[in-house]
Chains A and B, each alone.
Chain A
Amino acid sequence: MKDAAPAEEQQKPAVEPIKPPAVLRSNVRLITNAVAEKETRTLFGRVLRQTAAVRRQLTAQELQAFLASALPPASAAAQQLQEAVKQVGHGAADLDMCPARAAPPPANALPEVEMYAHLLTLMFLLDHKQYELAQQVAGAAVDRLSTFNRRTLDVIAARICSYLSLAHERAGSLPAIRSRLLALHRTAVLRHDDVGAETLLNLLLRNYLADSLYDQAERLRAKAQRPETSRSMQQACRYLHYLGRIRAVQLEYSEAKDCLQQAVRKAPTSAVGFRVAVAKWLVLVRLLLGEVPDRTEFTAPDTAAPLAPYFDLTQAVRGGDLSAFSAVAAAHEAVFRADRTHNLVVRLRHNVIRAGLRRISLAYFRISLADVAAKLGLASVTDTESIVAKAIRDGGIEGVIDHEAGTLEAARPADIYATDEPQAAFHARIAFCMDVHNEAVKAMRYGAGGGAVKEFEDATALREKMEEELQAALEEDEDF
Chain B
Amino acid sequence: MADLGPATAGFAQLQAAFSKGDLAACKQLLSRLKLELTKLPALPPVYEPSPNAQQQLTLARQVLELAVFLSIKQGDEVAFERNFAQLRVYYGDARPLLPPSDQEATLTALNLLRLLVQNRIAEFHTELEVVPPAVQAAGEVAQVVELEQWLMEGAYNKVLDARARAASDYYKHFLDQLSSTVREEVASCSERAYNSLSVADAAAMMMLGSEAEVVEFAAEHGWEVSNGRITFKPAADKDAAAAAAALPSLDIINHCLNYAREVERIV
Contact = CB atoms under 8 A, between A and B. Distances in A.
A213 B125 CA distance: 11
Contact of A250 (B125, B154, B198): B125
B158 A392 contact: no
Contacts of B192: 389, 392-393
Chain B, interface size: which category? 35 or more
In order of increasing CB-CB distance, the 10 nearest A-B pairs are: A390-B154, A389-B193, A389-B189, A250-B122, A212-B129, A392-B193, A393-B189, A387-B154, A393-B192, A383-B155
Contact of A390 (B123, B153, B255): B153
Contact of A251 (B121, B145, B191, B195): B121
Looking at B93, B129, B194, the one whose CB has the most chain A CB atoms below 10 A away is: B129
A349 interface: yes
Contacts of B130: 211-215
Interface string A210-229: 01111100100000000000
A184 B169 CA distance: 48
Contacts of B193: 388-389, 392-393, 399-401
B149 interface: yes
A188 to B, nearest CB: 24
A382 B157 contact: yes
A346 B154 contact: no
Interface in B65-103: 93
Contacts, number: 100
B157 A427 contact: no
Interface string A416-435: 00001001000100100010
B122 A252 contact: yes
Q: What does DSSP make chain A's interface, helix, strand, loop or mixed?
A: helix
Contacts of B153: 349-350, 353, 387, 390
A437 interface: yes
Contacts of A172: none
A251 B192 CA distance: 26
A169 to B, nearest CB: 18
Contact of B194 (A251, A350, A401): A401
B189 A390 contact: yes
A251 B133 contact: no
Interface of B: 93, 121-123, 125-130, 133, 145, 149, 152-158, 185-186, 188-195, 197-198, 201, 205, 248, 252, 255, 259, 262, 266
A87 interface: no
Contact of A420 (B128, B157, B158, B248): B248
B133 to A, nearest CB: 7
B126 A215 contact: yes
A109 B191 CA distance: 79
Given A249-B125, A346-B145, A390-B153, 12 more contacts: A214-B126, A214-B130, A249-B122, A249-B129, A250-B122, A250-B126, A251-B122, A343-B128, A349-B149, A350-B153, A353-B153, A386-B189
Contacts of A347: 125, 149, 152
A404 interface: yes
A420 B242 CA distance: 13
22 contacts: A214-B129, A218-B126, A249-B125, A250-B126, A251-B122, A343-B125, A350-B153, A353-B153, A382-B157, A386-B155, A386-B205, A387-B153, A387-B155, A388-B154, A390-B154, A390-B156, A390-B185, A391-B154, A392-B189, A393-B188, A437-B262, A437-B266
A341 B39 CA distance: 42
A438 B259 CA distance: 13
A389 B156 CA distance: 10
Looking at B186, B189, B248, the one whose CB has the most chain A CB atoms below 10 A away is: B189
A403 interface: yes
B133 A337 contact: yes
